[in-house]
């Protein structure tokens, strides 16, 4: 089946994995990667597929409504997977206007452009889909009710003593929205616009909310790649507060598989939560990263422990996120493919084996090369 799929934010961390998966798995699809190439967009993430005949890159801003209309119409887009977003909480605290513009108005621009084109067709919305990727942060925060951990009843290996959670409450698809940061507020607003376009105009839409992603090609302002790089260079590891905040971690390739599955088999107007069944306190996660990096670098155990530096806590720092993915498991059969220990080992090895990629990011050289290539 020939399809024309627009993937926004496809040069970013999660987006590049989704683009690669679709280009490789569906040679009959035309995959259009649309990205503004802000600081977090890096076309080097897709160097292995940039010459494929079913792949095309377009540099554009999703807030440019006229440009979105032209791109969607001229490429006869029948499916949109919308990942483009500002996503770093610290940046949203310093500059909330950029987050509102990109995450809210950019999403609205895409929705309206898709609506206009699809409603102009004889078949209208038949065979069309607007798939919006969101975050678990829209739900707010969960209480850290069991500091010692309790066995989570819905984990993939619920009988295992290793499957520990930090509370008895989890985010469901029906959990009330309660965003606490400018970032999560902007994503919550965009979620509401997507659902409103279904309810008002009948546009086929799906929304998914995912937990923290980790894996190759993540921009090194995020915790895991930042700390891997800092350990390699002997730099401090800044830990907010006491490091007791808890996050559920999802390997990015598992997220990409879930997006593929939901795009093709998910029910229109539904919401699906995508989580990794892997809750970790930040400080415990950091110790695992230190131990893994030191071992792979040949350092003695405990060699980099002194790099941990506790800093003033983030404003409005949510204590705990935890996704309940049972709906996705029950309806579509998805579950994570990797246990966290395997995923973090694979991730650390990738960053250590791709130090040139990391050095290009931290130096800013990655921006120059592709701007020259595409005359940007």
Note whether 193 and 308 are within 8 A (CB): no
- What is the three-state SS of the chain? CCEEEEEECCCCHHHHHHHHHHHHHCCCEEEEEEECCCCCCCHHHHCCCCCCCCEEEEECCCCCHHHHHHHHHHCCCCEEEECCCCCCHHHHHHCHHHHHHHHHHHHHHHHHHHHHHHHHCCCCCCCCEEEEEEEHHHHCCCCCCCCCCEECCCCCCCCCCCCEECCCCCECCCCCCCCCCHHHHHHHHHHHHHHHHHHHHCCCEEEEEECEEECCCCCCCCHHHHHHHHHHHCCCEEEECCCCCEEEEEEHHHHHHHHHHHHHHCCCCCEEEECCCCEEEHHHHHHHHHHHHHHHHCCCCCCCHHHEEEECCCCCCCCECCECCHHHHHHHCCCCCCCHHHHHHHHHHHHHHCHHHHHHHHHCHHHHHHHHHCCC
Q: CA-to-CA distance for 285 and 293, rounded, in angstroms?
A: 12
Angle separating helix axes 340-353 and 282-297, nearest 10 degrees: 50
Confirm whether 162 is a catalytic residue: no
Confirm whether 199 is a catalytic residue: no
Coil, helix or strand for 105? helix
Confirm whether 137 is a catalytic residue: yes
Q: How many C-beta atoms lie closer than 10 Å to residue 55's C-beta? A: 20
Catalytic residue among 35, 78, 136, 248: 136
Catalytic residue among 117, 131, 139, 183: 183
Alpha carbons within 13 angstroms on the beta-carbon side of residue 77 total: 30
Catalytic residue among 137, 173, 248, 318: 137
Which residues are catalytically annotated? 136-137, 183
């Amino acid at each position: 089946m020939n399809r024309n799929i627009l993937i926004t934010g496809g040069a970013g961390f999660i987006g590049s994995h989704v683009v690669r998966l679709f280009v490789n798995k569906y040679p009959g699809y035309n995959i259009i990667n649309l990205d503004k190439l802000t600081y977090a967009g890096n076309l080097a993430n897709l160097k292995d597929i940039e010459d494929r005949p079913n792949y095309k890159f377009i540099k554009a801003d999703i807030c440019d409504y006229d440009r979105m209309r032209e791109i969607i119409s001229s490429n006869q887009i029948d499916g949109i997977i919308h990942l483009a977003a500002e996503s770093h909480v610290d940046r949203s605290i310093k500059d909330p206007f950029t987050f509102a513009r990109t995450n809210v108005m950019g999403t609205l621009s895409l929705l309206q452009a898709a609506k206009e084109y699809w409603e102009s067709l004889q078949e209208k919305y038949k065979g069309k889909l607007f798939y919006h990727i969101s975050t678990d942060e829209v739900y707010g925060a969960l209480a850290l009710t069991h500091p010692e951990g309790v066995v989570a009843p819905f984990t993939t290996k619920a009988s295992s003593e290793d499957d520990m959670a930090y509370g008895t409450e989890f985010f469901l698809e029906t959990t009330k929205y309660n965003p606490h940061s400018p970032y999560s507020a902007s994503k919550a607003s965009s979620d509401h616009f997507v659902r409103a376009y279904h309810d008002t105009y009948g546009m086929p839409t799906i929304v998914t909310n995912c937990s923290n992603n980790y894996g190759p090609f993540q921009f090194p302002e995020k915790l895991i790649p930042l700390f891997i790089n800092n350990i390699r260079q002997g730099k401090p590891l800044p830990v907010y507060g006491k490091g007791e905040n808890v996050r559920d971690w999802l390997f990015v390739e598992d997220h990409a598989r879930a997006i593929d599955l939901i795009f093709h088999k998910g029910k229109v107007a539904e919401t699906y939560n995508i989580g990794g069944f892997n809750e970790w306190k930040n400080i415990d996660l950091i110790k695992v990263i230190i131990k893994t990096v030191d071992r792979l670098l040949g350092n003695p155990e405990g060699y980099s422990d002194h790099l941990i530096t506790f800093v003033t806590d983030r404003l409005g720092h949510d204590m705990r996120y935890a996704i309940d993915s049972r709906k996705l498991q029950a309806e579509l059969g998805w579950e994570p493919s990797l246990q966290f220990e395997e995923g973090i080992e694979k991730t650390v090895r990738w960053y250590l084996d791709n130090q040139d990629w990391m050095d290009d990011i931290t130096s800013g050289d990655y921006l120059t090369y592709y701007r020259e290539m595409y005359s940007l």
